[in-house]
C-alpha cells in the first residue's frame, strides 16, 4: 500500500478505465518503463464514450513513433480517414495528416496491443474507492471480483471521475457557456466520405460532421443556459437530412484538474478535463500528456515525490491553458446575432491572447514562435499549438491590424498566378489519388502491408553472411 509521505518508488500502475485514454496511458507508461507492472481494470460490459474521434496532427508521430504502433497494421484495423486531404473522398497522403478514428475499432486495436505488450486487462467493475482522511491519496480500489493494490493509480473513468472525485484536487472551470451536446451516427457511402472535420455554426452552438470508415458521426454542441434540450435537438434534426442512429446526450463542465496528479493518483482523458471539442484536442492531448507522465516517471527513477507531481501538474496546466486560448480566439469576433453569440464573444481571454492581438495589430503576422517574447524575456509560446497557427486564426476570424492598413500588402498578380497553379497541381494530384473505397475495399492496404514486411525482411541483416 502506498505510504503517505509519497516519496515512494512506483513499481506498479493500475489504470482504472479502459476507454481510449486509459489504454493509451497504459501503453505510454509501458513504452519506456519495461520493469513496471501495468494493468487496466475496466468494466468491459460498459462501452467507452462513443463520440466520434477527430484528432490533430501531433497524434501521428505519437502513435507510430512514440508508441511504436505499426502503421500498416493501424491502417488494416482502424481504417482511419485522413483529415484535411485535398479533395472529397481522395486519399492524398501528406505527411502527418491527422486521423478520424472509427468508434470501436481504435479501442479494439489498443486492447490487442496491451495484450501483446504485457499490460494486463482485467474485466471488473470498480465499486469501492477509499481515500485517507485528508483525501490526499487513494487507500483502496476494489471491484466486484478483487482489490487492486498499486503504487500509482490512473483515473481514466471518463466523466465519472471515480477516483479524482474522491480526492482533494483543484478543478478549474472555464467560463464558457457551451456545456452539452447531442451526438448521433448516420449511414454513409464510403464514396461520400468527407476528409475533413466539418464545423458549422448554429443558433446556440455549433454542429460537427466527422466521417469515418464505418459511419458519419454528427453532433450539436450547445449551451443549455440559452436553449432547452428539446429545442436544441429540434434544431439539430432540422439541420441534417440523415436519419439519426445511436442518439446520445452529453453534459460537461468545461475545465480541468490543475492538480492532475494528487498523491498516488493521476487523471487522464475525460476524467482529467474537457473543453468543448471545437479543435479536436482531447485524445491527442491526453496521449501527449501520458507520454510526458511516462517519461517523467522513468527520468525520476520512478520516485513519486512532490517535485515530480508539481512538475507534471505545471505541464498539464500549461497544456490546458493553451487549448483554452486557442478555442477562445474562435469566438472573439463572432457576430452577436443573439444572446448566446453575444455571450460567446465575451468569454474571457488570457493575457497571452491579449498580447498576441496587440502584437498582430502593431506588427501583423509573426511566423517564428521563438521571436515572440515578453518584456521579461519569457516566451509566449503555447504548449499545444504553434503560435504561428494562432496568427492565422486571429486573421481568419476577423482581427484587424493597423500594420496592414498602413502598409501596402496587396498581393501581386504574379503571386496570385503561382497560387492558382499550386492549387491546380494539388487538385490534379487529388484526382489521380485513390478514393477511400479503393483504399479500403480493393486490398491495397493489405498489399501495402505485405510489401512493407517483405521489404523489412529483405532489408534485415542476413545472419548467414
Ligand X SMILES: Cc1cc2nc3c(=O)[nH]c(=O)nc-3n(C[C@H](O)[C@H](O)[C@H](O)COP(=O)(O)OP(=O)(O)OC[C@H]3O[C@@H](n4cnc5c(N)ncnc54)[C@H](O)[C@@H]3O)c2cc1C
- Residue number, 138 or 357, with CB nearest to ligand X: 138
Helices (H) and strands (E) in the chain, counts: 14, 19
Instruction: Tell me whether residue 48 or residue 177 sits nearer to ligand X (CB atom).
Output: 48
Q: Running DSSP on this structure, what letter comes out for residue 369?
A: G
Stretch 188-227 residues interacting with ligand X (CB under 6 A) = 219
Q: How far is the CB of 208 from ligand X (least distance, A)?
A: 7
Q: Does 43 bind ligand X (CB under 6 A)?
A: yes
277 makes contact with ligand X (CB under 6 A): yes
Q: Helix or strand or coil: residue 93?
A: coil
Q: How many residues contact ligand X, by CB under 6 A? A: 36
> Which residue, 198 or 358, has its beta carbon nearer to ligand X?
198
Q: Is 2 in the site for ligand X (CB under 6 A)?
A: no
For the record, the C-alpha cell of 343 comes out as: 455571450
328 is a site residue for ligand X (CB under 6 A): no
Give the integer Cα–Cα distance in Å for 139 and 150: 9
Q: If binding is defined by CB under 6 A, does position 155 make contact with ligand X? A: no
Closest contact distance (angstroms) between CB of 217 and ligand X is 8
C-beta of residue 16 within 8 angstroms of C-beta of residue 125: no
Rounded distance between C-alpha atoms, residue 73 and residue 305, angstroms: 39
According to the binding rule CB under 6 A, does residue 156 interact with ligand X?
A: yes
CB of 323 to ligand X, least distance (A): 11
Which of these ranges, 153-161, 301-309, 338-346, 379-387, lies near ligand X under the rule CB under 6 A? Answer: 153-161
Please report, as residue ranges, which positions from 79 to 138 form the binding site for ligand X (by CB under 6 A): 125-126
Binding to ligand X by residue 17, rule CB under 6 A?
yes
In angstroms, the CA 316 to CA 319 distance is 5
Q: Of 157 and 304, which CB lies nearer to ligand X in the complex structure?
A: 157
Positions in 246-275 near ligand X (CB under 6 A) = 250, 252, 269-271
* Contact between 54 and ligand X per CB under 6 A: yes
Q: Does 290 engage in binding with ligand X (CB under 6 A)?
A: no
Residues 6+ apart with CB under 8 A from 47: 104
Least Cβ distance, residue 153 to ligand X (angstroms): 12
Determine contact, residues 1/139, Cβ cutoff 8 Å.
Answer: yes
CA angle 435, 441, 443 (to 5 degrees): 105
Give the DSSP H/E element, type plus range, for residue 339: helix 339-345
Is the CB of residue 177 less than 8 Å from the CB of residue 226? yes
Segment near ligand X (CB under 6 A); pick from 20-28, 231-239, 347-355, 363-371 = 20-28
Question: For residues 285 and 282, what is the distance between their CA atoms, to the nearest angstrom?
Answer: 5
Nearer to ligand X, 252 or 448 (CB): 252
Element (H, E) at 255: strand 255-257
**Looking at beta carbons only, is 51 or 164 nearer to ligand X?**
51
Can you tell me which of 10, 15, 21, 439 binds ligand X, judged by CB under 6 A? Answer: 21
Check if the beta carbon of residue 318 is closer than 8 Å to that of residue 383.
yes
Which residues 6+ apart lie within 8 Å of 445 measured at CB?
Answer: 72, 75, 76, 439
22 near ligand X, judged by CB under 6 A: yes
Q: Which one among 9, 46, 65, 354 touches ligand X, defined by CB under 6 A?
A: 46
Identify which range of 4-12, 49-57, 375-383, 428-436 contacts ligand X by CB under 6 A.
49-57
CA 249 to CA 114: how far, in whole Å? 30
β-pairing, 255-257 vs 171-173, is: antiparallel
20 counts as binding ligand X under rule CB under 6 A: yes
Residue 172's SS3 state is strand
Report CA dihedral (5, 6, 7, 11) to the nearest 10 degrees: 140
**How far apart are alpha carbons 382 and 272 in whole angstroms?**
19
Write down the least CB distance from residue 241 to ligand X, Å: 21
- Positions touching ligand X (CB under 6 A) are 17-22, 41-43, 46, 48-49, 51-55, 125-126, 156-158, 160, 162, 181, 183, 219, 250, 252, 269-271, 277, 280, 282-283
Amino acid at each position: 500500500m502506498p505510504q503517505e509521505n509519497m516519496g515512494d518508488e512506483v513499481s506498479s500502475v493500475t489504470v482504472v478505465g479502459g476507454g481510449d485514454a486509459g489504454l493509451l496511458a497504459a501503453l505510454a507508461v509501458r513504452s519506456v518503463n519495461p520493469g513496471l507492472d501495468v494493468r487496466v481494470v475496466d468494466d468491459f460490459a460498459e462501452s467507452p464514450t462513443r463520440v466520434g474521434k477527430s484528432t490533430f496532427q501531433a497524434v501521428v508521430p505519437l502513435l507510430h513513433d512514440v508508441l511504436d504502433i505499426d502503421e500498416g497494421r493501424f491502417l488494416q484495423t482502424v481504417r482511419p480517414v485522413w483529415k484535411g486531404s485535398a479533395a472529397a473522398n481522395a486519399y492524398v497522403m501528406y505527411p502527418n495528416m491527422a486521423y478520424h478514428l472509427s468508434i470501436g475499432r481504435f479501442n479494439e486495436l489498443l486492447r490487442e496491443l496491451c495484450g501483446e505488450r504485457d499490460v494486463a486487462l482485467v474485466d471488473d467493475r470498480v465499486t469501492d474507492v477509499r481515500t485517507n482522511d485528508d483525501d490526499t491519496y487513494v487507500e483502496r480500489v476494489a471491484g466486484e471480483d478483487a482489490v487492486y493494490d498499486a503504487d500509482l493509480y490512473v483515473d481514466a473513468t471518463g466523466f465519472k471521475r471515480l477516483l479524482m472525485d474522491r480526492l482533494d484536487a483543484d478543478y478549474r472551470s472555464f467560463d464558457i457557456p457551451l456545456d452539452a451536446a447531442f451526438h448521433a451516427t448516420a449511414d454513409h457511402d464510403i464514396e461520400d466520405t468527407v476528409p475533413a472535420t466539418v464545423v458549422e455554426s448554429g443558433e446556440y452552438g455549433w454542429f460537427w460532421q466527422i466521417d469515418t470508415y464505418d459511419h458519419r458521426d454528427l453532433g450539436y454542441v450547445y449551451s443549455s443556459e440559452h436553449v432547452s434540450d428539446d429545442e436544441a435537438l429540434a434544431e439539430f434534426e432540422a439541420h441534417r437530412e440523415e436519419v439519426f442512429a445511436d442518439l446520445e446526450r452529453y453534459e460537461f463542465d468545461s475545465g480541468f484538474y490543475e492538480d492532475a496528479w494528487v498523491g498516488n493518483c493521476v487523471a487522464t482523458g475525460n476524467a482529467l478535463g474537457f473543453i468543448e471539442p471545437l479543435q479536436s484536442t482531447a485524445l491527442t492531448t491526453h496521449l501527449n500528456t501520458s507520454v510526458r507522465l511516462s517519461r517523467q516517471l522513468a527520468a525520476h527513477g520512478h520516485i513519486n515525490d512532490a517535485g515530480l507531481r508539481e512538475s507534471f501538474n505545471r505541464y498539464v496546466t500549461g497544456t490546458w491553458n493553451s487549448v483554452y486560448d486557442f478555442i477562445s480566439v474562435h469566438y472573439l469576433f463572432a457576430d452577436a446575432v443573439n444572446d448566446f453569440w453575444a455571450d460567446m464573444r465575451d468569454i474571457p481571454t488570457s493575457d497571452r491572447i491579449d498580447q498576441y492581438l496587440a502584437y498582430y495589430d502593431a506588427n501583423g503576422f509573426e511566423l517564428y514562435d521563438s521571436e515572440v517574447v515578453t518584456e521579461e524575456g519569457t516566451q509566449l509560446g503555447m504548449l499545444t499549438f504553434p503560435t504561428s497557427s494562432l496568427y492565422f486564426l486571429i486573421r481568419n476570424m476577423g482581427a484587424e491590424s493597423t500594420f496592414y492598413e498602413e502598409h501596402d500588402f496587396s498581393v501581386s498578380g504574379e503571386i496570385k498566378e503561382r497560387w492558382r497553379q499550386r492549387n491546380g497541381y494539388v487538385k490534379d494530384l487529388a484526382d489521380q489519388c485513390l478514393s477511400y473505397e479503393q483504399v479500403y475495399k480493393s486490398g491495397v492496404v493489405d498489399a501495402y502491408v505485405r510489401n512493407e514486411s517483405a521489404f523489412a525482411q529483405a532489408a534485415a541483416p542476413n545472419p548467414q553472411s
